[in-house]
Amino acid sequence: MRRCYPLAHLLALCALLHRLILGGDFITEAGPTLALDLLPSSSGSGAPLVEVADQLGEGGVIPGDRLKTLDRLKETRKLRRVRQKVNHSERPTSISRPYSGLPGQHHIIHTIVNPEHPYQISTLPDPVEEVRAPQLSRKRKLLDFDLNFSPPPSPTHEVNIPPPVKHTSYNNSPHDVHTRSDPDDFWDMREPIPPGFIPMPSITRWSVVHPDLFIRYHSPFKARIDSFSNKYTLRMSVRRNEKMKNLPVYMVRCLDPSSETPRRLILPKIAQLRKSPANDGKVNPNKRAKKDRLQVPFTLGLLFGNLIKSILFSHGAFLKKIDCTVEEELSRHDALMSWLNELVFSNENRIPICGEITEIDFERLKDQGYNSAQKRLITYLQGQPEDAIFYTDLMTLALIGIWYKRELPHEWAERFLSSEKVFWLRMQEAIGEARQDRDWRAGQWIEKMYKGQPGDTTLGNFDLIELRRALQSKSNRRRPWSERRPWVVHKDNFKPSLVEREIIMAHQKVNKLVNTPPVGRAMSYVAGIQAALQYAIEKSTGKEVFLVRVVSPNGRTHPDGSLVTQLTNLLCGLRQYHQRLLNYLEHEEIPTIPNAHSKFLDWLSETILRPPEADQHFPLFGYLSKEIGDQKSLDQTIFNPIQHIVLLSLTKRRKKDHAASDLVSILGYWYKVIKPNYWNTHFKNEFNFGQFVVLSMIPYGKETLTQFVTSSVPIRSQLSKKPLSAEAQNARDRLRTRKKIKKN
Instruction: Answer for the pair 547, 514: CB distance below 8 angstroms, yes or no.
Output: yes
Tell me which range, 382-386, 496-500, 622-626, 730-734, is most confidently predicted by mean pLDDT: 496-500
Least confident of 466-470, 589-593, 611-615, 623-627: 611-615
pLDDT at 600 over 90: yes
Tell me which range, 58-62, 380-384, 449-453, 459-463, is most confidently predicted by mean pLDDT: 380-384
| Predicted pLDDT at 671 | 93
Tell me which range, 21-35, 499-513, 695-709, is most confidently predicted by mean pLDDT: 499-513
Instruction: Answer for the pair 664, 693: CB distance below 8 angstroms, yes or no.
Output: yes
Beta-carbon neighbour count of residue 342 at 10 Å?
Answer: 13
For residue range 632-667, list pLDDT tens digits in order. 777 778 888 888 888 888 877 655 556 778 888 899
Report how far residue 696's alpha carbon sits from residue 251's, in angstroms, rounded to the nearest whole number. 67
Instruction: Answer for the pair 416, 203: CB distance below 8 angstroms, yes or no.
Output: no
Report how far residue 27's alpha carbon sits from residue 333's, in angstroms, rounded to the nearest whole number. 69
- How many CA atoms lie less than 13 Å away from 738 in the CB half-sphere? 6
For residue range 517-575, list pLDDT tens digits in order. 655 556 777 877 788 888 888 888 888 888 888 887 666 777 888 888 889 888 998 99
| Predicted pLDDT at 128 | 43
Per-residue pLDDT band for 106 (boundaries 50, 70, 90) equals very low
Beta-carbon neighbour count of residue 432 at 10 Å?
Answer: 12
Report how far residue 507's alpha carbon sits from residue 559's, in angstroms, rounded to the nearest whole number. 11
Contacts of 17 (CB under 8 A, 6+ apart): 49, 53
Q: For the chain, what percent of residues have pLDDT higher than 90?
A: 10
pLDDT at 55 over 70: no
| Predicted pLDDT at 719 | 42
Per-residue pLDDT band for 414 (boundaries 50, 70, 90) equals very high
pLDDT at 44 over 80: no
pLDDT at 306 over 70: yes
Contacts of 560 (CB under 8 A, 6+ apart): 507, 508, 511
Q: Checking DSSP bridges between strand 131-132 and strand 107-111, what pairing results, if any?
A: parallel
Q: In one letter, which amino acid is 447?
A: E
Per-residue pLDDT band for 277 (boundaries 50, 70, 90) equals low
| Predicted pLDDT at 105 | 42
pLDDT at 409 over 50: yes
Q: What's the chain's average pLDDT?
A: 70
| Predicted pLDDT at 238 | 58
For residue range 338-377, list pLDDT tens digits in order. 999 999 998 888 889 888 888 888 888 888 888 888 888 8
Per-domain residue ranges for the chain?
6-89, 203-234+297-346+369-446, 453-737
Per-residue pLDDT band for 423 (boundaries 50, 70, 90) equals very high
Average confidence (pLDDT) over 468-485: 57
